[in-house]
Amino acid sequence: MKEERNTKNDFSEMVAKGQVASRGLNSGITVGIAKVILSPEDATRLQRGDILVTTMTTPDYSIAITKVAAIVTDEGGVTCHAAILSREVGIPCIIGTKNATKLVKDGEKLKVDSNEGVIYRRGGHNEENNLQEQ
């Protein structure tokens, strides 16, 4: 008998790994829609509960960051803007992934594990993972 795999909630494909800057106030696992934002002007696209994926943040991102469920950056260390602000507002933050902005697709559903510093997408990534089409 062939076992069918439920891929709807199967976040088994690792997208990126970085350093944990903040675990946030939750269990360390956050799921949300990725928004790849490459400039502060684009931050207006962020909705409450989104996962901000960016190269790095600056003070220009501060208001938008209060909406997001988690932050993932390509660059930064434990004293960077994203790390400090995420600890202040109590949200998970993974920094220094080097290439998350290139690997994550805007609009896909991600799981951020802020215990291990790993970002996952659903296994067998394809267009079904893009929530904007669902």
Q: What is the DSSP string of 77-93?
A: -TTSHHHHHHHHHT--E
Output the CA angle 121-65-107, nearest 5 degrees.
Answer: 30
Residues 35-64 have pLDDT tens digits of 999 999 999 999 999 999 999 999 999 999
**53 located within any domain:** yes
pLDDT score of 92? 97
- Return the percentage of the chain with pLDDT > 70, whole number: 85
DSSP per-residue codes, 46-59:
--TT-EEEES---G
Residues 59-91 have pLDDT tens digits of 999 999 999 999 999 999 999 999 999 999 999
Range of the domain at 45: 13-122
More confidently predicted of 133 and 117 = 117
Distances (CA, A) of 128 to 13, 101, 123, 133: 14, 20, 11, 7
Query: Which tokens hold the place of 101?
Result: 């902005």
**62 located within any domain:** yes
Number of domains in the chain: 1
pLDDT score of 124? 61
Q: Which residues are catalytic?
A: 81
**33 located within any domain:** yes
**27 located within any domain:** yes
Query: Which tokens hold the place of 37?
Result: 């934002």
Query: Which tokens hold the place of 87?
Result: 């600890």
**38 located within any domain:** yes
**3 located within any domain:** no
| CATH code of residue 28 | 3.50.30.10
